[in-house]
Amino acid sequence: MTTHNSNPPARAQGWGHYLLIPLALLGLALFVIPLLGLIARAPIAELGVVLRSPAVGAALRLSAVVSVAAVGLSLVLGFPIAWVLARFEFPGRRLIRAVVALPMVLPPVVAGVALLTALGRRGLLGPLLESLGIELAFTTTAAILAATFVAAPFLIIACEAALENVDRELEDAAATLGATRLRILWTVTLPAIWPSLLAGLALCWARALGEFGATITFAGNFRGRTQTMPLAVYEALQTDHEGALLLSLIMLAISLAILFALRGKLVRR
Amino acid sequence: MSLRADLGVDRGGFRLDLGFSAPSGEVLALVGQNGAGKSTVLAAIAGLLPLSRGEIVLDDRLLERVATGVRLPPQARGVGVLFQGLALFGHMSALDNVAYGLRARGVDKHTARARALAWLERFGVAELAERRPRQLSGGQAQRVALARALIVEPGMLLLDEPLAALDAQTVIEVREVLRETLHGFAGVSLIVTHEIGDALELADQILVLEGGRLVQQGSPHEVAAAPATAHLEAMLARHRLTRDDLLGSLKP
C-alpha cells in the first residue's frame, strides 16, 4: 500500500532525471581528461626556457595582435551587419543571415581556400589589389582577415539576437523625446545590449585566438608575420613534441584565465 | 490651439477608423476593451505607427496627412508619451532620465540637469534624483516618467494605461498627481484606460472605442447616464459597486 508513503513529494518528482548525472560526469570527463593529459605530460620545468625563446615570444605577440585586431574589425564591420539584420525587413534577409553564419560551420581550411581564391595574388580580386599596390596573401593582414572571417559571426549573431530583444518601448520613448536615430542607438540601444555585446566580443576573441586552418591556408606559416600560437604549436608538434605540449599548455592557461575572468561578468545581466 | 485627428489604420486584418477633436487644455479619455484599438490610436498620434488614411493636426501644425504625404517623425511632433511600462532608461539615474529630452535638443549637461532637478522637485521626488529606475517604487517611477515627458514642453500628452500597473494604494496617490498635472497642462491630454472609473475621474470628454471605431463620445456625465455598449454598461455597474463598497466601508 502507498497510503503511508512517508515522502510523497520525492515520489512525485520521480527519479529518472538522476540518470542525467552520470551522463554529465561522463561528458565532463571527455573535456577534462585531455586537459589533464596535457598538464601531466608537459615538461613544466622547462616552461621558463620555452617562454624566453624568441619564436614563442613572437608567436605570443602575434597572437595578441591578430586576435585583438580581428575583434576590432569584427566590431566595426559586424555590428552594422547585426543592426541592419535586426532592424530592417528586406528580401534576402534570411539568405544574408545564413551567409553571415556560414563561417561558423565551414571547415576553417575551406574558409582559407575561399579567402585565397578571392584575395590571393592569382585570386578574383588579386589583379585589382595588385594594381593598388596591396599584397595580402602571407602577410599579418591576411592572418587578421582570416581570423576575422571565422570569428566575426559569433559577434554578429550575439548582437543581432540582443538587438531583436531590446524593449522597443525604450527606443520609442527616446524618439518621442526628440532623440535622433543615431542618438537612440548610442544612448539607449547600446547600453541595453551591453552585456550581450560583451559576451559576443569574448566569444569572437576566443575564436580568433584559436584560429588555425584559415590562417595557415590563406596567410601561411611565417614566424613573426603569420605564425600565431596555434600555428606555432602545429609546427613544434612535428619537430619538438615536448615544446608543443608546453605551447599548448600556455594557450590553455591564457584561454581559461580569460574565460574565467569574463564568465561571471557575462552571465549576470 | 487644439487637436484634430482623423485616424485610419489598416494593420493585418485590424481596421481602425475614427475621428475626434478637442480644444487645448482638455483631458480626453479613450476607453474600450483589450483589442479595441486604444494603443493603436496612441501610437498613431505619437508617430510611432503610420496612418493609412486621414490626418492629425495639433495646434495648427500638420503632424500627418496621408493625402499629401506629410508625416512628421515622432521626434518632430512635440507629443509627449507616458508609456504603459514607463520605458524609463534603466542605465540612467532618475535625473538623467528627466534630462534626456533636453540633452537630445542640444541643451548642455549642466543646464539640462538643473532643469530636470526642478521638474523632479515639482513632483516631490527630487531626493530620488540619483536613483536608478529599478530602485523606485511604482508611484515614484510614474512621477519621474511624467517629469521626463513634460520637461520638453510637448503640445500634447498621451498616457497609456497610467494606473494599470499600480497597487490599490498607489493608484489613489498617482491619480491625484495625474489630476493636478493634467489640470495644469496647457495642451490636450489623451488617457488610454480600460478602467471607466479613471476616465470618469480624470477626463472632460470620454471616447468609447470598440472594434476600431468610436461608438460614443461625450462628457463623463453623459456617458455614465447612457452607456452605448453592453461592455461599458457592465464596467459602469462594476465601478458603482466597488465605489459604493468603498463608501459603505468608510461609514461608521
Interface test with B, best of A165, A176, A187, A188 (most B CBs within 10 A): A176
Among B73, B87, B105, the residue with its CB nearest the CB of A173 is B87
In the numeric block, which cell numbers belong to residue B39? 494603443
Asked if the model's pLDDT at residue A133 lies above 90, the reply is no
State whether residue B149 sits within 8 Å of chain A by CB. Answer: yes
Report yes or no: A226 and A220 within 8 Å, Cβ to Cβ. Answer: yes
Would you state the pLDDT for residue A130?
83
For chain B, 252 residues long, give each residue's pLDDT as a single digit of tens.
Answer: 599 999 999 988 899 999 999 999 999 999 988 888 999 999 999 999 999 999 999 999 999 999 999 999 999 999 999 999 999 999 999 999 999 999 999 999 999 999 999 999 999 999 999 999 999 999 999 999 999 999 999 999 999 999 887 888 888 889 999 999 999 999 999 999 988 888 998 999 999 999 999 999 999 999 988 888 888 888 888 888 877 776 666 655
In the numeric block, which cell numbers belong to residue A229? 600560437
Contact A177 B89 (CB under 8 A): no
Question: What domain count does chain A have?
Answer: 1
Q: DSSP string of B202-224? A: H-SEEEEEETTEEEEEE-HHHHH
Q: Cα separation of B55 and B57, whole Å?
A: 7
Q: CA-CA-CA-CA torsion for A139, A144, A145, A147, nearest 10 degrees?
A: 130
Q: Cα separation of B57 and B41, whole Å?
A: 14
pLDDT digit string (tens) for A90-126?
Answer: 999 999 999 999 999 999 999 999 999 998 888 888 8
More confident residue, B228 or A262: B228
| Residue B36 CB neighbour total at 10 angstroms | 23
Contact B104 A174 (CB under 8 A): yes
State whether residue B156 sits within 8 Å of chain A by CB. Answer: no
Would you state the pLDDT for residue B72?
96
Would you state the pLDDT for residue A218?
92
Within-domain flag for A16 = no
Contact B77 A192 (CB under 8 A): no
Considering only CA atoms, which of A82, A93, A92 is closest in space to residue A156? A82
- Give the range of the structural domain holding residue A235, as residue numbers without chain letter: 46-261
- Taking contacts as CB-CB distances below 8 angstroms, the residues of chain A near B85 are 167, 169
Contact B152 A178 (CB under 8 A): yes
The DSSP bridge partners found for residue A67 are none
Asked if the model's pLDDT at residue A2 lies above 60, the reply is no
State whether residue B165 sits within 8 Å of chain A by CB. Answer: no
Q: Residue B153's closest chain A neighbor by CA?
A: A177
Considering only CA atoms, which of B70, B68, B56 is closest in space to residue B21? B56
CA distance B179 to chain A (A): 22
Would you state the pLDDT for residue A236?
87
State whether residue B175 sits within 8 Å of chain A by CB. Answer: no
Among A169, A176, A177, the residue with its CB nearest the CB of B85 is A169
Within-domain flag for A2 = no
Asked if the model's pLDDT at residue A267 lies above 70, the reply is no
Within-domain flag for A212 = yes
For residue A114, give the CATH number of its domain: 1.10.3720.10
Q: CA-CA-CA-CA torsion for B15, B16, B19, B25, nearest 10 degrees?
A: 180
Average of per-residue pLDDT across A68-90: 95
Within-domain flag for A247 = yes
| Residue A117 CB neighbour total at 10 angstroms | 14
Amino acid making up residue B242: T
Within-domain flag for A19 = no
pLDDT digit string (tens) for B181-214?
Answer: 999 999 999 999 988 888 998 999 999 999 999 9
- Taking contacts as CB-CB distances below 8 angstroms, the residues of chain B near A180 are 75, 104
ipTM of the complex, rounded to two decimals: 0.92
Between the CA of residue B242 and those of A58, A226, A256, B19, B171, what are the distances in Å? 79, 78, 62, 33, 14
| Average pLDDT value for chain A | 88
| Strand B79-82 with B156-160, pairing | parallel
Cβ-Cβ pairs closer than 8 A, A with B, add up to 62
Would you state the pLDDT for residue B80?
96
Q: Cα separation of A119 and A49, whole Å?
A: 39
Within-domain flag for A1 = no
Q: Residue A167's closest chain B neighbor by CA?
A: B87
Q: Residue A184's closest chain B neighbor by CA?
A: B104
Interface test with A, best of B40, B79, B89, B151 (most A CBs within 10 A): B89
Interface test with B, best of A165, A171, A172, A177 (most B CBs within 10 A): A177
Q: Cα separation of A251 and B155, whole Å?
A: 62
Average of per-residue pLDDT across A184-203: 92
In the numeric block, which cell numbers belong to residue A112? 582559407
In the numeric block, which cell numbers belong to residue B132? 536608478
Would you state the pLDDT for residue A268?
47
Contact B75 A188 (CB under 8 A): no
CA B96 to chain CA mean position, Å = 22
Q: Cα separation of B208 and B217, whole Å?
A: 6
State whether residue B104 sits within 8 Å of chain A by CB. Answer: yes
Would you state the pLDDT for residue B180?
92
Q: Cα separation of B148 and B133, whole Å?
A: 12
**Confidence class of residue A269 from pLDDT cuts 50, 70 and 90?**
very low
Within-domain flag for A36 = no
Considering only CA atoms, which of A210, A254, A257, A258 is closest in space to residue A234? A210
Q: Cα separation of B83 and B145, whole Å?
A: 8
Within-domain flag for A22 = no
Q: Cα separation of A139 and A90, whole Å?
A: 37
Would you state the pLDDT for residue A264?
60
Asked if the model's pLDDT at residue A6 lies above 60, the reply is no
- Nearest 5°: phi and psi at B228? -85, -20
Angle at A114 between CA A108 and CA A116, to 5 degrees: 105
The helix (run of H) or strand (run of E) holding residue B54 is: strand B53-58
**Confidence class of residue A265 from pLDDT cuts 50, 70 and 90?**
low
In the numeric block, which cell numbers belong to residue B152? 520638453
In the numeric block, which cell numbers belong to residue A217? 591556408
